[in-house]
Structures are given as structure tokens and as C-alpha cells.
């Protein structure tokens, strides 16, 4: 038995839209199998993971809050992935963004510094993420070193820097020796959209990023440049688009948005620096980008879906005592399913019985 | 089907069933019928030509014959017995050998390893090498077995393919466009080898679009057009013009060349261009000098892999030269400028590879207009793409250059080679560029499209532009070029007026056997 | 035992999993497939290896479980990239995320359990030699096995017909296919071998190196193994050299932390990752054009039929 693929002449638009839905369904099915293999009821898990959060207004707000960093990062990553460049170190850029932005919050802590604090934090966070991302971009453009490996290695380095800071120089002296910074002043905290709600203005930034990305990607020469670079690098060169420059720009965009997400998360959600400020947003955003088919509005939806798995994962940890790793497992399965569903859009897949045609004579 | 002349070969075995007979072979890809009920029979000792335009279905048919593709319908008989070829191994074990057009070699492996890769797995590398040595001695096909393939010339590479084939002790050898990458002299050597093989009883299926070769070598020929057999003939009994008519289906017009302006001002000038290749096994350029004048077509001949791609990259600005003065367009130094800046100075470029270089395969034609024209006005405003303008331009190109396509704005990869090439060349010519550099303008293009493209290029030159054509096809250069230079091992010979040159002298320059640069002009 | 000897011995133990995982990935990449999921496969090997060893109370059976787990996760990857021609980079990431998650589920019940040290070679006389005795004649079986594996991979790739087949498929899939070589089957086997090696490396981590299991214990070693393959220019002998170089860096960094020389421990912990980046840059300076990468590395393969 073997699989034969035949390229479709024109992949249908409906198939493109349905592919992520199909992938999601398949992933839930396989996730259920994993839960069943653990000796738990898949239906109870589905209830806790999906149905309860969706019917609880507080959880719905939390979902939007969690989707914010995912969407910000994934929108940035979609620029990279369109150009076939692989920034998989967004987690590190997120952390560095949080660190850089927090310098302002910590420096002005307890002072009467005014309204400039928050914009300065956001700006520094963005720049920090950009700077961290420009290292792999530079190494690729100048030395031809794989950006995949370098961007990932820098995640570990960034996390260690954060660890050092919150255990060392930035530790709150009144924090009972916990590895965490002081809690940010109100001037260094993102305002909430509604009184008593959980929604902060970072959500608006994510929405702006989605709309801007949609326009840039679909209607500008820069968006065209990225698509050409990703689909036909030689044609991009023929077109006069320098690859090193493209690399720098997309890494700056994705790093900047990841850095922004980092400082937004710290200033909006957490309110202080801790060793773990992210449950893996930078990696999950990769899945969000693919699940959203690299389309900004698709990413918006996909970000909400993935945020749900975080909320559900936390709930399942408490109520069902299902480990949080189940969420990670599910996320991995989902990414496989998304990639597999893409194949169904691009190719006509059929199963052929019998030994591979070419095996004869060379089977030894 | 027309029958012109008898189908009989000199050394062919006339009795019994043919060595191989294909009956009613049909192959359908999606909605495309590549082969439509094709019949083909070859006898032992016969050199049989398979003729047809690009896209007529020749490659599909030989892939079926070699087991690489499964026919949708039809039957193959080997010595009268029906066979099913599940893969190349089975074809080889029957005695079918194949010499591919795009050689199926592994650049970083040695010659011996390349040969061994296609041999039964129970033979050791040493045994394969010993056998290869025997065969190469027997047929006078000398190659160094320990060298990595990337160091070898096209002729040597083909020898590896032939040795690999002969080691299987084949009864039928299929050669796909074997002379397309050879110099005339190398082609002559190949013909001698093939005739010896045929005399020893081996059948040969010879695929080519070069009619003179076929008339010289082959005793019978099957002609394909649009996936169907249109005639089986004795090529020696029929004129080349008649055969061409059968292949194309309509009468072809010769390109009206006229004479180029002898004393136009130089519009594209290259001085002392040296450039290392950036590919692992590419060819460095060495001290290239050339000038293309207004109104002329300058041809650069050469065997593939002698620096054509690198020269194109340096002229287009895809790679920058060492100094500004190394390349000049209309007197302006541009060596330091990129592609877009050079385009803005009136230059235009057509690369060799259509899909993936000259056009983005999965983009629609309208989007593909942007590829080379986004920087020269009209299509982009303040960073935003003017979608209507790209569509209008695509329509103009399609109408002016008779680009045939399905649907209003199809993806580039759905066009046939000829139609996509017309689009890519048309996109540049419609700009009326002052300088046009074209690499392999009609490679893999059907005759009708090739004629249209060649005429358009000549007309552009006659209107005062400087046109530089890099081509492996000597016929094409002799037809169009006012002067011809030859590139070999990264060096360019001094251009000579086409009228003063013969195919033999150009062929010698292509092998690097002729006097080095400079001495040509010494008398 | 002198401190130098102790350090040398730990270097060997730290290098062995890197070497095994890198050799597996090297074979996979030589066939033209880039599997970035080594980290995930290694994590699975570590968790399943440890679980198996506890459940069957046998290190050998545990190791077999680890190998099997690595192979099975690799099969998932193979299905995606060979069967469905999915993007290899993205599929590798999916495998990493999946492997890290699932290994967490599998390993969780075994947190806190500990394995006894495994037996080491002992040749009376030789093993007792000062300084070099235990280094050369007193290692555990996996160390010797990893060295044999290195020799074996080199011999297979460059001295056998099947190795030639594998290199040919990785070098040019189009040529290989037109000669009728079984491209997909060769790649399937190479991916499975890579997975088995990563699984073995993971099992070694949990059963020999630390002798307990903890979440995220691979801590980037799988990624370093991928980097080692580039560093080694796809050659097994250089992979051996690279693995020991990185093993040494890791161990010296740990000793420096223990010695409390005034540098923050996080800076020392970051050294292996920074060293990887530096090594890749330095290597690229030496070979600007020919990296030694297989010609078809990372390209999907969809034959007509």
C-alpha cells in the first residue's frame, strides 16, 4: 500500500477554507484518542476544554486576553513564513521585548513619571524584540547560517537572561525572596477597556496589526515581494528584491511584534516580571500562523482557537487533573493535521494497493 | 496517418515480430491528453527517430517506455510478448536503456559511483568499475572513473550515461535529444558510436527535433503532433522541409533578419568582467569584453555550463560586478547597480528558466507582470499595487504576442512552454527596451512560438535597440545574429560577423580547441 | 580519582547522547530529508526509555522502548513529509512540540523514581591504569556502541552499495527517480533510523546520564544535534569531533558553575547555545560556497505516475 499524490491544477477556494476546519476536527479526534489512552473520558475532556470555556463569559474574556499575544506574534511570523524564512525564536523575542520594555517600568517605579512611561515601554519592547530577531537575520544574510537554528538557540539565551534578572538585580527586595520584580505602577500598566473586566488595550493593538498586515500583504508591492521571495527565490532576485534585505525586514517585523506582545503581556496581564512569563506563546504562535493559513484574519480566528486550548488546558489541570502537557500534545497534533490538510488542498491523494511500483528488483 | 517512403533500416532485422511494439498508448494527465493512441514499433538493429515539437508528447512516451510513467491505456509488446513495465528496473532487465536529455547524474558523486547507482545492488563498486572500464575501452568512450561528475563537460557526462546504459547489455537504447548539449564535433563522435551499436544489432530510438541529424542517422521515423502519430516515414526519402511541415502542421515562415546596423553606437558595453561563481560547482567568468551596438543582434554561443548563467546574472545586475565601469548601459556605468536600476536605464532581461526565474509558477499572469516591471512605472503607486494596471498590461502582452491560455488570468505554470515564453519575452519587449539580454530565448519552445519570438527580437534590434542573445542553439544564432562570440570555460571569444563564420569554426571555439581570445583578430 | 579524570569521564557521558542523535540525523539528512524534530523524538526516547526500564526493571528493555518510541514518532513525521509531501521544516516543529508534550504525559508518573548506575566495562589491569584507564577501558556499553555506530555509519555511507543508494537519493532526487531508485523508501528508512537514534540518545539521557526523568530534560540537546550535523558538514567523523567538543563545553560550563567563579550561573548555562551559534558562523566562514549539504535536502518529492 502506498500513497500517490497528484498536483491539482487549481486548488478550490472552498477547499482552502475548509482545510483548517477539517484539521481542527481531526486534531480533536486524535486528541480524544490520547485522552482515552490515558484512561480518561474524552467527552469529559471535550466539555472542560471547549464547551465550558465557551459558555462562561469570564473564560471568554480570558480567551481574548490569551489570544492577544498569540495573534500579535503570529501576524509577525506570517510575514516570515510567506517569505519562506523560518523565525522559530519568537519566544525569545517575546521575552527580550518584555525585558526591554520593563526597564522603563522598573526605572520609573515609585516616581511620579507621567503618561510617557507606557508608550516608552511599548516602544522599547518592540525595539528589543527587533534587535533580538536581527541577530539570526544578520547571521543568515551575512554568513549564510541557518536562521532556524540560531533563532531557536537565542530562545534559551533570552530565557536565561530573564531568569538572571529576576533572581538577581531586578528581584523585588520585599518579595520574600521570590524570583520576581516589583509590581508595576499604574502608569506602567496597560489600561483596561472596561471597568472590572480583563480586556486591556493590547487587544486593540492586535486588531490593528491584523488589519495593517492584511492591507500590506494583499495590496502592496512589499507584500508581493514577500510572496515572490517565498515561492520563487530566483524570480525574486530577478525582480530586484534583495534577499538579505527581505530577511532583515521580515525578521524586524516579526521580532518587533513578538517584542510588543511580550511587553503587552507583562504590562497588561502579569504586571511584573517573573521567570516564566509565557506558556510557550512564541511556539504556539507558529501553529496559529499555519492554522490561519498565513492570512491575518485567519490568524485572528486561529489565535482565539489556540487561546481556548490554553484556557481549557488550565481548567482541565484543575478539574480533571489532566497535565498541561496534554495541551502541548494536542497542539503538536493540530500542527500535523494542518500541514496534512494543506496537502489535501494541493494534491489529489489516493491510496494504491500493492507494492510500490519501483520496488521490484531493488528490494534487496 | 500518411505513409511516405518505406520503413526499412539498413541493419534492421526484417523477420519475426519487432523488438518492441507499442500499441494504442494513451496517457492522460488531468485534462491533458499527452499521448493519444500512439503506435510505435522498432526492430533490432534499427535506428528509429521519434520526431515532434516540444509538447508533442515525445518525453511522455519515452517515460512510459522506460517504466517511469504508467500508460492510461494501451499495450507494450517486447519481442511479441505483452509486458507491463512497473519501473525502470524492469525496463532495464528487459534490455531497455535510456540516455536522458537532462542527465540523470549526481554531481557530487564520482563517475564510478554514478554508474554503480543504476546497477543491480549485488555488484560491488569495484566490480562495476571494472565492467565500466571494459565497455568504455570497447566503444572508445573514455572517462576518468574517479572524478566527481561536476568537474566534467557535457560531452563527458553524456558518455557516462551511455556507458551506464551499455553496461546493462541493452537491446534497445533510447536517447532523448542527445545532441542538444553537444558541440558539432562531439555530436559526430556520438553518431559513430550509435552506428556501431546498431550494426551490432542493438535497436535505437533517437529523439530529436534536429532534422538534419535524423536524416543522416535514422532509417525510419515516427512523427508526433499534439500527442498523436501523424506519420511514419523514411526520413532519408523526405526533405527536411516536408518533415518540418508534418511536425508543425502548418507552413513556417523564416525569420526576416535583414542586416543589422554596422556602425550603431554601443549601447551595452562590458569591460574586463571577472566574477567568481556563487554556486558550489559553477563556472567563474574571466575577463569578459563585449559591446552590443544599437540596431544589432549579438549572439553568444556555447555549451551549457560554460558561464552563461553567470554572465546573465552579471549583465542583469542579479549579481553586482566589481566596479561601476565593468558594465555600461548607454554610456552610463552600471556595474554597481541592481536589476531595478538597470531596468530604469532602459535595459530588460529574459532569463533561461521560465518557471521560477522569469515567472512565478503559482502567480497569475497579471501578477507576473509586476515581476520585472514593478520598478519602471505605471503598476505601483506609493507602494500600492495598481491591480487594474497589471491586468491591462497582461492583456496587452497576451494580445500582442498571441499567448494562448485557458481562463481569464491563469497561473503561469498552467501555460505551455512556448506560450509562457511568449509572455515573458513579450513583457520585456513591450517596454521597448534600449538593451535586451536574453538567455536561451527558445529553449524547449514549439516551432511556432520560437519563430514569433525570434522575429520579435530581430524587429526590436532593427528599431535601434541592442539585443544580446545567449543560446546553445547554433541554428538559431546563425539565423538571427549579426555577430557571434563563443563562451567557453568562462571566457568569451571576440565576436565575428556571422557571415564570416561556419558552424565548424564556432563548434571548435565551443570545445575550447580553437586559438585563445585575441589571436582571432591578429591577422 | 583525580578531578581531571572525573571531568574527562563526564565529558564522555555528556557527549554520547549528542553523538548518537547527530549520527541519526546525519543519515536522515544524507537521504535528503531535514527532520527538525530531533528534540521531540529525543524527549520521547527519554520518557519511554525511563518508563520502560522502571516497568520491566531492565535497562536493556528500557533502551529498546526508547528506540521504539523514537522510531514511532519519526514514522509520524515520515507520514507527513513523504506520504503527504508536507513542508519539512514545519513538520519537524510539529514533531518537536508533539514529542515534548506527549513525553511529558508519559513521564509524569515516573517523576521521583531513580535508576541505579549501569555496569561499566572493567578489564583488570587496563581499567586500573591511572588517568586513562577508566577513560578508555571503563566506560558503559553505550559509549562503545556510539563509537561503533559512528564507524558503522561512515562505513555504510561510503563503502557500501546501499550507502551509495542513500547518498544518491539525497544528492539528486530527480536523477534518482529517473533511474528508478526507490526515493521514498530510502527516505522512510533513513527517517526511521534517525528516529531510533534520537530515541536511543534520549533513553541514554534518562537512564545513564541523569538516572531520573524530569520534564523538559532534553533542554535543547536535540537542536544541538541538528546543528552538529551542519557543523560536521554531513560527515560522521566530524560529527564525532563536534559532539565531543560540545560535550566538553557543556561539562566545563557545569564545573565552572560548581566552582562559583563569580560569573552568573545563567551566563554559563547559556554557553552551549551561544557556542552553537558561534560554531555555525565560524564554520560558514570556512566554506562559503560548498557546505557539503546534500543537494536535495529539504525538498519535497512528488513523482508523476
> Given a cut of 80, is residue B392 above it in pLDDT?
yes
- Asked if B195 and B296 sit in the same domain, the reply is no
- Asked if B416 and B280 sit in the same domain, the reply is yes
> Given a cut of 80, is residue B490 above it in pLDDT?
yes
Which chain C residues touch B if contact means CB-CB below 8 Å?
161-162, 164-165, 167-168, 171-172, 174-181, 289-290, 295, 304-305
Length of chain C: 305
Residue among C174, C181, C295 whose CB faces B117 most closely: C181
- Asked if B300 and B240 sit in the same domain, the reply is no
pLDDT for A7: 78
> If you average pLDDT over residues C250-259, what whole number do you get?
83
Is the residue at B302 inside a domain?
yes
Is the residue at B133 inside a domain?
no
> Given a cut of 80, is residue B1 above it in pLDDT?
no
- Asked if B225 and B305 sit in the same domain, the reply is no
Q: Does B92 touch chain C (CB under 8 A)?
A: yes
Q: Which three cell numbers stand for residue A8?
A: 491539482
pLDDT for C287: 66
pLDDT per residue over B181-213, tens digit each?
Answer: 788 888 888 898 899 889 989 999 998 877 888
Length of chain B: 523
pLDDT per residue over B312-328, tens digit each?
Answer: 999 999 999 888 999 99
Domain residues for the domain of B201 are 2-95+170-248
DSSP annotation string for A199-240: -BTHHHHHHHHHHHHHHHHHHBHHHHHHHHHHH-HHHHHHTT
Is the residue at B351 inside a domain?
yes
- Asked if B194 and B329 sit in the same domain, the reply is no
Listed range (B155-169, C128-142, C225-239) with the worst mean pLDDT: C128-142
Is the residue at C264 inside a domain?
yes
Is the residue at B365 inside a domain?
yes
CATH number of the domain encompassing residue B23: 3.40.50.300
> If you average pLDDT over residues A28-45, what whole number do you get?
92
> Given a cut of 60, is residue B158 above it in pLDDT?
yes
> Whole-model pTM?
0.89
Neighbouring C-beta atoms of residue A33, cutoff 10 Å: 12
Mean per-residue pLDDT over chain C, rounded: 90
> Given a cut of 70, is residue B350 above it in pLDDT?
yes
pLDDT for A14: 85
Confidence at A360, pLDDT banded by 50, 70, 90? very low
pLDDT for B257: 64
Separation CA B438–CA B266 (nearest Å)? 17
Q: What is the ipTM of this complex?
A: 0.90
Q: Who wins on pLDDT, B244 or C305?
A: B244
pLDDT for B12: 55
CA atoms B360, B364, B367, B372: torsion sign: positive
pLDDT for B518: 44
Separation CA B272–CA B270 (nearest Å)? 7
State the angle between helix axes of A13-37 and A281-291 in degrees (0 to 180), rounded to the nearest 10: 140
pLDDT for A1: 65
- Asked if B310 and B449 sit in the same domain, the reply is yes
From chain A, pick out residues whose CB is under 8 angstroms from the CB of B371: 228, 235, 238-239
- Asked if B185 and B279 sit in the same domain, the reply is no
Could C97 and A145 be called an inter-chain contact, meaning their C-beta atoms sit closer than 8 Å?
Answer: no
Nearest CA in chain C to A328: C101
Q: What percentage of chain B has pLDDT greater than the value 90? A: 52
CATH number of the domain encompassing residue C119: 1.10.3470
Separation CA B130–CA B48 (nearest Å)? 31
Confidence at A355, pLDDT banded by 50, 70, 90? very low
Split into its structural domains, chain C has a count of 1
> Any idea where the domains of chain A sit in the sequence?
1-40+322-357, 58-319
Confidence at C298, pLDDT banded by 50, 70, 90? confident
Q: Does A361 touch chain B (CB under 8 A)?
A: yes
pLDDT for B259: 62
> If you average pLDDT over residues A22-27, what whole number do you get?
93
pLDDT for B46: 92
Ramachandran assignment for B484, one of left (phi > 0), alpha (psi -120 to 50 degrees), beta (any other): beta
Is the residue at C192 inside a domain?
yes
Split into its structural domains, chain B has a count of 2
CA distances in angstroms from A179 to A166, A172, B123, C258, C267, listed in the order given: 5, 8, 66, 21, 17
Is the residue at C300 inside a domain?
no
From chain B, pick out residues whose CB is under 8 angstroms from the CB of C174: 102, 104
Q: Who wins on pLDDT, B519 or C61?
A: C61
Nearest CA in chain A to C94: A332
Is the residue at C105 inside a domain?
yes
Is the residue at B361 inside a domain?
yes
- Choose from B94, B280, B413 for mutation: most chain C CBs within 10 A: B280
What is the maximum span of chain A, computed from C-alpha positions, in angstroms? Answer: 82
3-state secondary structure of B337: coil
- Choose from A144, A218, A235, A350 for mutation: most chain B CBs within 10 A: A235
DSSP annotation string for B200-252: TT-EEEEEES-HHHHHHH-SEEEEEETTEEEEEE-GGGS-HHHHHHHHHSSPP
Could C164 and B116 be called an inter-chain contact, meaning their C-beta atoms sit closer than 8 Å?
Answer: yes
Confidence at C100, pLDDT banded by 50, 70, 90? very high
Is the residue at B129 inside a domain?
no
Q: Where are the beta strands (DSSP E) in B380-481?
A: 380-381, 384-385, 435-439, 466-471
> Given a cut of 70, is residue B233 above it in pLDDT?
yes
Domain residues for the domain of C114 are 3-286
Listed range (A317-331, B356-370, C56-70) with the worst mean pLDDT: A317-331
Separation CA B299–CA C50 (nearest Å)? 70
- Asked if B28 and B85 sit in the same domain, the reply is yes
Q: Does A2 touch chain B (CB under 8 A)?
A: no
Listed range (A78-92, A115-129, B108-122, B337-351) with the worst mean pLDDT: B108-122
Separation CA C100–CA C41 (nearest Å)? 8
Please give the CATH number for the structural domain made up of A58-319. Answer: 1.10.3470
Of A11, A10, A83, residue with least CA distance to A341 = A11
pLDDT for C289: 56
Task: Provide the CA B277 distance to its chain's centre, in angstroms.
Answer: 22
Separation CA B386–CA C70 (nearest Å)? 52
3-state secondary structure of B487: strand
Interface list for A 268-307 with C (CB within 8 A): 283, 286-287, 290
pLDDT for B519: 42
> Given a cut of 80, is residue C291 above it in pLDDT?
no
Listed range (B17-26, B260-269, C8-17) with the worst mean pLDDT: B260-269
Is the residue at C296 inside a domain?
no
pLDDT for B52: 86
Confidence at A275, pLDDT banded by 50, 70, 90? very high
Confidence at B10, pLDDT banded by 50, 70, 90? very low
Residue B240 · residue B49 · CB < 8 Å:
no
Residue A210 · residue A297 · CB < 8 Å:
yes
Q: Which three cell numbers stand for residue B478?
A: 546563425
3-state secondary structure of B34: strand
pLDDT per residue over C176-191, tens digit each?
Answer: 998 889 999 999 999 9
**Of the spans A96-105, B27-36, B109-118, which averages the highest pLDDT?**
A96-105
Amino acid at each position: 500500500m502506498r500513497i500517490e499524490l497528484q498536483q491539482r491544477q487549481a486548488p478550490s477556494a472552498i477547499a482552502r477554507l475548509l482545510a483548517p476546519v477539517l484539521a481542527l476536527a481531526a486534531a480533536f479526534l486524535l486528541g480524544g484518542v490520547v485522552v482515552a489512552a490515558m484512561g480518561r473520558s474524552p467527552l469529559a475532556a471535550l466539555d472542560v476544554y471547549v464547551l465550558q470555556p465557551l459558555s462562561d463569559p469570564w473564560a471568554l474574556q480570558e480567551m481574548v486576553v490569551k489570544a492577544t499575544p498569540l495573534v500579535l506574534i503570529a501576524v509577525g511570523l506570517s510575514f516570515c513564513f510567506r517569505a519562506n524564512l523560518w523565525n522559530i525564536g519568537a519566544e525569545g523575542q517575546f521575552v527580550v521585548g518584555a525585558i526591554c520594555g520593563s526597564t522603563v517600568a522598573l526605572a520609573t517605579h515609585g516616581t511620579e513619571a507621567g503618561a510617557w512611561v507606557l508608550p516608552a515601554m511599548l516602544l522599547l519592547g518592540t525595539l528589543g524584540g527587533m534587535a533580538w530577531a536581527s541577530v539570526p537575520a544578520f547571521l543568515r544574510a551575512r554568513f549564510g547560517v541557518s536562521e532556524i537554528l540560531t533563532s531557536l538557540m537565542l530562545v534559551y539565551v533570552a530565557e536565561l537572561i530573564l531568569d538572571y534578572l529576576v533572581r538577581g538585580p531586578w528581584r523585588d527586595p520585599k518579595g520574600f525572596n521570590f524570583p520576581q520584580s516589583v509590581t508595576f505602577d499604574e502608569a506602567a500598566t496597560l489600561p483596561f477597556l472596561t471597568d472590572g473586566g480583563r480586556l486591556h488595550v493590547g487587544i486593540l493593538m492586535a486588531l490593528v496589526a491584523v488589519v495593517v498586515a492584511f492591507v500590506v500583504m494583499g495590496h502592496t508591492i512589499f507584500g508581493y515581494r514577500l510572496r515572490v521571495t517565498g515561492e520563487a527565490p530566483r524570480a525574486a532576485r530577478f525582480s530586484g528584491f534583495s534577499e538579505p534585505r527581505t530577511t532583515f525586514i521580515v525578521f524586524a517585523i516579526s521580532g518587533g511584534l513578538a517584542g510588543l506582545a511580550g511587553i503587552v503581556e507583562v504590562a497588561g496581564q502579569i504586571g511584573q516580571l517573573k521567570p516564566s512569563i509565557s506558556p510557550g506563546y512564541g511556539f504556539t504562535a507558529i501553529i496559529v500562523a499555519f492554522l490561519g493559513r498565513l492570512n491575518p484574519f485567519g490568524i485572528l480566528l486561529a489565535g482565539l482557537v489556540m487561546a481556548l486550548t490554553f484556557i481549557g488546558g488550565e481548567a482541565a489541570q484543575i478539574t480533571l487533573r489532566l497535565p498541561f502537557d496534554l495541551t502541548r500534545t494536542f497542539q503538536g497534533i493540530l500542527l500535523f493535521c494542518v500541514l496534512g490538510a494543506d496537502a489535501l488542498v494541493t494534491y489529489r491523494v489516493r491510496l494504491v494497493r500493492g507494492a510500490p511500483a519501483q520496488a521490484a528488483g531493488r528490494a534487496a | 496517418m500518411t505513409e511516405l517512403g518505406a520503413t526499412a533500416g539498413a541493419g534492421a532485422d526484417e523477420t519475426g515480430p519487432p523488438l518492441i511494439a507499442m500499441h494504442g498508448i494513451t496517457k492522460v494527465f488531468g485534462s491533458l491528453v499527452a499521448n493519444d493512441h500512439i503506435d510505435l514499433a522498432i526492430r533490432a538493429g534499427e535506428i528509429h527517430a521519434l520526431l515532434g515539437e516540444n509538447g508533442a508528447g515525445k518525453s511522455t512516451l519515452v517515460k512510459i517506455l522506460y517504466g517511469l510513467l504508467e500508460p492510461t491505456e494501451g499495450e507494450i509488446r517486447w519481442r511479441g510478448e505483452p509486458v507491463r513495465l512497473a519501473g525502470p528496473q524492469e525496463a532495464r532487465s528487459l534490455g531497455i536503456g535510456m540516455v536522458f536529455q537532462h542527465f540523470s547524474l549526481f554531481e557530487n558523486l564520482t563517475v564510478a559511483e554514478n554508474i554503480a547507482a543504476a546497477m543491480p545492488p549485488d555488484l560491488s563498486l569495484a566490480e562495476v568499475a571494472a565492467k565500466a572500464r571494459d565497455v568504455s575501452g570497447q566503444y572508445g568512450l573514455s572517462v576518468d572513473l574517479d572524478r566527481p561528475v561536476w568537474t566534467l563537460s557535457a560531452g563527458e557526462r553524456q558518455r557516462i550515461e551511455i556507458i551506464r546504459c551499455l553496461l546493462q547489455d541493452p537491446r534497445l537504447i533510447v536517447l532523448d535529444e542527445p545532441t542538444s548539449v553537444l558541440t558539432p564535433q562531439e555530436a559526430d563522435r556520438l553518431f559513430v558510436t550509435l552506428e556501431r551499436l546498431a550494426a551490432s544489432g542493438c535497436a535505437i530510438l533517437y529523439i530529436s527535433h534536429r532534422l538534419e541529424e535524423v536524416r543522416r542517422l535514422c532509417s525510419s521515423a515516427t512523427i508526433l503532433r499534439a500527442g498523436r502519430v501523424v506519420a511514419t516515414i523514411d526520413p532519408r526519402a523526405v526533405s527536411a522541409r516536408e518533415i518540418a511541415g508534418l511536425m508543425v502542421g502548418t507552413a513556417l515562415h523564416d525569420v526576416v533578419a535583414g542586416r543589422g546596423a554596422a556602425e550603431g553606437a554601443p549601447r551595452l558595453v562590458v569591460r574586463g568582467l571577472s566574477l567568481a561563481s556563487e554556486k558550489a560547482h559553477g563556472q567563474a567568468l574571466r575577463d569578459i569584453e563585449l559591446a552590443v551596438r544599437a540596431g544589432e543582434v549579438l549572439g553568444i554561443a556555447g555549451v551549457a555550463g560554460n558561464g552563461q548563467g553567470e554572465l546573465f546574472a552579471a549583465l542583469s545586475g542579479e549579481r553586482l560586478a566589481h566596479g561601476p565601469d565593468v558594465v555600461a548601459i548607454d554610456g552610463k556605468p552600471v556595474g554597481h547597480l541592481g536589476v531595478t536600476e538597470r531596468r530604469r536605464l532602459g535595459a530588460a532581461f529574459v532569463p533561461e528558466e521560465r518557471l521560477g526565474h522569469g515567472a512565478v509558477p503559482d502567480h497569475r499572469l497579471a501578477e507576473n507582470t509586476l515581476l520585472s516591471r514593478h520598478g519602471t512605472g505605471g503598476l505601483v503607486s506609493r507602494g500600492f499595487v495598481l491591480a487594474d494596471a497589471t491586468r491591462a498590461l497582461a492583456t496587452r502582452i497576451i494580445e500582442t504576442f498571441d499567448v494562448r491560455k485557458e481562463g481569464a488570468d491563469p497561473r503561469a505554470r498552467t501555460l505551455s512552454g512556448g506560450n509562457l515564453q511568449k509572455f515573458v519575452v513579450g513583457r520585456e519587449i513591450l517596454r521597448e527596451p534600449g538593451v535586451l539580454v536574453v538567455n536561451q530565448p527558445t529553449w524547449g519552445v514549439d516551432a511556432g512560438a520560437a519563430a514569433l519570438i525570434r522575429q520579435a527580437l530581430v524587429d526590436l534590434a532593427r528599431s535601434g535597440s541592442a539585443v544580446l542573445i545567449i543560446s546553445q542553439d547554433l541554428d538559431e544564432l546563425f539565423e538571427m545574429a549579426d555577430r557571434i562570440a563563443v563562451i567557453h570555460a568562462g571566457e568569451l571569444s571576440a565576436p565575428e560577423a556571422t557571415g564570416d563564420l561556419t558552424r565548424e569554426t564556432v563548434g571548435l571555439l565551443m570545445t575550447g580547441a580553437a586559438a585563445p581570445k585575441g589571436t582571432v583578430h591578429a591577422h | 580519582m583525580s578531578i581531571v579524570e572525573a571531568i574527562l569521564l563526564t565529558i564522555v557521558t555528556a557527549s554520547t547522547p549528542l553523538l548518537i542523535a547527530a549520527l541519526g540525523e546525519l543519515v536522515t539528512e544524507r537521504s535528503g530529508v531535514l527532520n527538525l524534530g530531533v528534540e521531540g523524538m529525543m524527549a520521547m526516547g527519554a520518557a519511554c526509555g525511563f518508563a520502560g526500564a522502571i516497568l520491566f526493571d531492565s535497562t536493556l528493555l528500557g533502551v529498546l522502548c526508547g528506540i521504539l518510541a523514537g522510531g514511532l514518532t519519526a514514522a509520524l513525521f515520515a507520514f507527513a513529509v513523504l506520504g503527504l509531501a508536507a513542508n519539512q521544516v514545519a513538520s519537524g516543529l510539529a514533531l518537536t512540540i508533539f514529542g515534548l508534550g506527549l513525553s511529558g504525559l508519559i513521564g509524569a508518573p515516573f517523576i521521583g523514581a531513580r535508576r541505579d548506575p549501569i555496569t561499566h566495562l572493567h578489564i583488570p589491569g587496563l581499567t586500573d591504569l591511572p588517568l586513562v584507564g577508566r577513560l578508555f577501558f571503563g566506560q558503559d556499553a553505550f559509549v562503545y556502541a556510539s563509537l561503533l555506530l559512528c564507524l558503522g555509519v561512515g562505513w555504510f555511507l561510503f563503502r557500501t552499495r546501499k550507502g551509495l543508494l542513500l547518498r544518491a537519493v539525497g544528492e539528486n532526487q530527480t536523477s534518482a527517480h529517473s533511474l528508478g531508485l526507490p526515493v521514498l523508501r530510502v527516505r522512510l528508512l533513513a527517517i526511521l533510523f534517525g528516529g531510533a537514534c534520537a530515541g536511543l540518545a534520549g533513553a541514554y539521557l534518562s537512564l545513564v546520564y541523569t538516572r531520573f526523568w524530569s520534564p523538559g530534560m532534553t533542554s535543547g540537546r536535540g537542536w544541538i544535534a541538528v546543528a552538529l550535523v551542519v557543523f560536521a558538514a554531513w560527515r560522521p567523523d566530524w560529527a564525532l569531533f563536534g559532539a565531543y567538543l560540545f560535550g566538553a563545553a557543556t561539562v566545563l560550563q557545569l564545573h565552572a558553575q560548581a566552582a562559583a567563579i563569580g560569573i552568573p550561573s545563567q551566563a554559563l548555562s547559556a554557553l552551549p547555545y551561544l557556542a552553537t551559534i558561534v560554531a555555525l558562523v565560524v564554520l560558514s566562514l570556512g566554506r562559503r560556497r560548498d557546505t557539503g549539504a546534500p543537494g536535495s535536502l529539504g525538498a519535497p518529492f512528488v513523482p508523476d505516475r
